[in-house]
């Protein structure tokens, strides 16, 4: 399979063999992860490797008991990490300003990009992967378990191993439903019906093939796929509760320091969100 074919054959794997992954294969995954682009080449992330059975079991319970974690031999937790950069700056008599919301966003982006590189490298070597959204839902206990210091936050986790299933490709919205030429085109209700038509039918049919889910759907009185998303899978109460907890953790980990040395933030000063002018020497290193 060439690289484009691999990208387009992606499916998440949720059943794994217990077969060990040779260390050179893992090393390729990790080297590929750290080859990802990062803002200012600061690599504002860390990757925590978990192989130990007992520790995987602990993480399984912190990831809402998703059984694939017990099956697959490798878990990678990707963390937004400014602590290393801060320490280097402080040791070098430099005054870091990376403890704010912008840097939290930038570091989170860097972290996700590195994790996708790892996922692709794993798939390129015949491994299966699944991301764990439960990393953010349970970021507080996961941080404690992994002993994350200040300025470090868990963002996502990859479960990696040899697949014990070959699921069908999941549908995607049609390309024209997600791409905008030159400027954003707002959607009419007809556009929305057209864009979600295939997903609505195939998603509903797929859920109905799982007896547990079918029973939950039937008991709840949910009528369509959108209601499965809003009422069963991701209800607002749960999202708000998880948001409040995450917000507290982000603050506790030191990402909301918006004090400046002058009276107010200087919008003319360069920031991580601003590229250096094109005619300046490349300072992106």
Ligand X SMILES: Cc1cc2nc3c(=O)[nH]c(=O)nc-3n(C[C@H](O)[C@H](O)[C@H](O)COP(=O)(O)O)c2cc1C
Query: Which parts of 33-72 interact with ligand X (CB under 6 A)?
Result: 66
Q: List the alpha helices (DSSP H) in the chain.
A: 3-8, 23-34, 53-62, 68-71, 83-91, 101-124, 134-137, 139-145, 175-178, 189-208, 211-220, 225-227, 236-252
Name beta bridge partners: 156: 78
Query: Which parts of 187-246 interact with ligand X (CB under 6 A)?
Result: none
Q: How near is the Cβ of 190 to ligand X at its closest, in Å?
A: 26
Nearer to ligand X, 146 or 173 (CB): 173
* Residues 130-169, mask of contacts with ligand X (x by CB under 6 A): xxxxx---------------------x-------------
SS3 labels along 114-183: HHHHHHHHHHHCCCEEEEECHHHHCHHHHHHHCCCCCCEEEEEEEEEECECCCCCCCCCCCHHHHCCCCC
C-alpha–C-alpha distance, residues 241 and 137, integer Å: 9
Nearer to ligand X, 73 or 203 (CB): 203
C-alpha–C-alpha distance, residues 92 and 285, integer Å: 16
Query: Which parts of 81-140 interact with ligand X (CB under 6 A)?
Result: 130-134
Q: How near is the Cβ of 63 to ligand X at its closest, in Å?
A: 7
Q: How near is the Cβ of 5 to ligand X at its closest, in Å?
A: 15
Nearer to ligand X, 69 or 103 (CB): 69
Nearer to ligand X, 86 or 135 (CB): 135
Nearer to ligand X, 40 or 174 (CB): 174
Interacting residue ranges for ligand X, rule: CB under 6 A: 10-12, 14, 66, 130-134, 156, 170
């Amino acid at each position: 399979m060439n690289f484009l074919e691999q990208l387009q054959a992606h499916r998440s794997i949720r059943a794994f063999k217990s077969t060990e992954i040779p260390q050179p294969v893992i090393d390729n995954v990790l080297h590929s992860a750290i080859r990802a682009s990062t803002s200012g080449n600061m690599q504002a992330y860390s990757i925590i490797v978990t192989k130990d059975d007992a520790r995987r079991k602990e993480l399984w319970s912190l990831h809402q008991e998703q059984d694939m974690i017990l099956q697959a031999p490798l878990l990678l937790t990707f963390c937004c990490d400014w602590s290393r950069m801060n320490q280097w700056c402080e040791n070098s008599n430099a005054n870091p300003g990376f403890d704010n919301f912008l840097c939290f966003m930038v570091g989170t982006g860097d972290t996700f990009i590195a994790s996708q590189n790892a996922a692709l490298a794993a798939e390129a070597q015949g491994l299966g992967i699944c991301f764990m959204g439960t990393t953010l839902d349970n970021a507080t206990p996961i941080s404690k378990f992994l002993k994350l210091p200040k300025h470090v936050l868990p963002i996502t986790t990859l479960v990696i191993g040899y697949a014990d299933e070959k699921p069908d490709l999941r549908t995607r919205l049609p390309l024209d439903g997600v791409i905008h030429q030159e400027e954003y085109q707002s959607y009419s209700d007809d556009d929305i019906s057209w864009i979600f038509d295939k997903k609505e039918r195939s998603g509903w049919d797929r859920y109905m093939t799982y007896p547990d889910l079918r029973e939950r759907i039937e008991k709840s009185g949910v009528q369509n796929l959108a209601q499965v998303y809003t009422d069963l899978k991701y209800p607002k109460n749960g999202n708000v509760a998880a948001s409040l907890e995450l917000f507290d953790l982000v603050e506790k980990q030191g990402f909301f320091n918006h004090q400046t040395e002058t009276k107010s933030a200087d919008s003319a000063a360069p920031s991580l969100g601003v590229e250096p002018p094109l005619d300046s020497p490349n300072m992106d290193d």
